[in-house]
Amino acid sequence: MNLLYLNNNDEQSDLIALQLEGESSYDVCLVNSAEEAIELLKFKQDQIHLIISDLNECLSDTCLVCAHIIKSSIENIPLILLGQPPAVGPREIEIAKEKITIKHINNSKNIEEIVQMANDFSNEIATRNDSEFCKIALVRFLQFSSINCDVFIRLSEEKFIKIIAKNDSFRQELIIKFMKKDCKYFYVHKKDFKSFSLEYGKKISGDLSIEKKSPHSLLSQTLLLQVSGLELIHEQIMGLGIDEDAIKNVDILLESCMAMLKKNNLFKEILKDGLNANEYHHKHALLIAYLCGAIAIQMSWDLGKTAEKLVMAALLHDQYFDVGQMGEIHDLHPEKVAERHQKIQQMVKEHSEKAAGLVREGRGLPMDVDTIIACHHERPDGSGYPRGMTAQNIPALAAAFIVAEDFIVKIVDKKFDSNLIASVMSEMDAYYSSGHFAKIIPALKMALGL
């Protein structure tokens, strides 16, 4: 999101801009005159989401900007005014209040309050948009030639343009054109998302059923279908939460994974398919699911209920994260989390409990899945989160999940061979040597053929 900041005191404005960029989701555009501000508003109105102006430094410029707002079509860009307003408010500011939201912060040097108010506005925008639209990855639309709802592209935080009308035919070339422009998502109205996901879910379910019955189905093709199924589940949960339809698709994917697990010597073939950082979000969950299942087999746990709980936890454990947000960073580069805004750090720390909460709300999911998810970032030495549990307090199923995820994270972007396995296992051997982990590590080795 973009923030237009009008202030002709360079030293003060630079300091506030620095804090805003570091502690909010805004990109700050600094201007020091009304002319510059109005020029930007004329030509980039749809890309500006908030205006901040300092009354102490540029009252007359602020009035000119408000005069432009009064005459223009601007209605949804809020304005934060810094500094004590005059006893009698300037006429332009008072009239502008009839068109846009204007708020005052009396102390123009109270950076914390400025950042907080700016973040409040960004949260309002996000909530408003989230309540109206659900996003769907472009690749989904390659499966269809017409859609049972209107489809939109997002031009800015608040502007959506319809590109496909309900039930109109379209060609794959249209989707590919947007993909080449690095567009990743289309959007549908939230009221239409359920019917779209049902239609797509039926297709994935049918394709997985065909793959399961075919003696000649390729492993890579089955994995691709399973990743597509997991992507759909993620979009369903982000759009509508864990409802009955999402659970149906989880069950379909679970059945497909369990069928694959029952095939001898297939697990190492699945790992050989590899995992690149650019496909991390969904595929790593699938690989954890398979490794958890393989560990369950070696532990002689019930391949039915117990293994299913682990596989389901793997499929759902990072559903609280949006794709491309922090899903990769918090696993692959945890040291970078500390560089992010405090709210992002808090979101990472809480995500396992939040995901577990989503699972608890979903009726029909097995017991213990939420516990596994809540514990999946705990560590045997107490250095994990959110509760800092130690090996003696971490349940056996959660320990199996933790070991499986750690192994998968360590093989990202690496050639999967015996040398890599030996190197990773020598590192994990010493670390996971207490509590339930002491029995899980030998099971992992057996699953890997060591």
Same domain, 269 and 401: yes
Query: Of 109, 131, 158, which marks where a domain is finished?
Result: 109
Q: How far apart are CA 313 and CA 289, in angstroms?
A: 8
Amino acid at 404: A
Q: How far is CA 98 from CA 5, 34, 59, in A?
A: 21, 21, 19
* 351 found inside a domain: yes
* 396 found inside a domain: yes
How many domains is the chain partitioned into structurally?
Answer: 2
* 122 found inside a domain: no
Q: What contacts 176, CB < 8 A, 6 or more positions away?
A: 142
pLDDT at 80: 93
Task: Return the exposure string of 409-430: e unless at least 16 CB atoms fall within 10 Å of the residue's CB, then b.
Answer: bebbeeeeeeeebeebbeebee
Q: How far apart are CA 338 and CA 232, in angstroms?
A: 31
Query: Of 109, 130, 159, which marks where a domain is finished?
Result: 109
Same domain, 84 and 226: no
Q: Which of 408, 131, 397, 382 is nearest to 277 (CA)?
A: 408
* 142 found inside a domain: no
Q: How far apart are CA 136 and CA 196, in angstroms?
A: 10
Main-chain phi, psi angles of 372, to 5 degrees? -60, -45
Q: Which of 253, 242, 249 is nearest to 290 (CA)?
A: 253
Task: Please state, for a pLDDT cut of 70, what percent of the chain lies above it.
Answer: 81
Angle subtended by helix axes 418-431 and 396-410, to nearest 10: 140
* 386 found inside a domain: yes
Q: Could you tell me the CATH number of the domain that includes residue 39? A: 3.40.50.2300
* 423 found inside a domain: yes
Query: Of 68, 83, 109, which marks where a domain is finished?
Result: 109
| Average predicted confidence (pLDDT) for the chain | 81
Same domain, 228 and 100: no
Same domain, 99 and 225: no
Which pLDDT tens digit goes with each residue over 299-347? 888 666 788 888 888 888 876 665 455 566 666 556 666 666 666 677 7
Confidence of residue 367 (pLDDT cuts 50, 70, 90): confident
Tokens read off for 410 = 């360590």
pLDDT at 110 over 80: yes
3-state secondary structure of 268: helix
* 424 found inside a domain: yes
Instruction: Check: CB of residue 8 under 8 Å from CB of residue 61.
Output: yes
Give me the domain span that covers residue 83.
2-109
Instruction: Check: CB of residue 63 under 8 Å from CB of residue 6.
Output: no
Same domain, 288 and 411: yes
Helix (H) or strand (E) holding 52: strand 50-54
Task: Please state, for a pLDDT cut of 90, what percent of the chain lies above it.
Answer: 20
Establish how many alpha carbons lie within 13 A of residue 421's alpha carbon, considering only the half-sphere containing its beta carbon. Answer: 15
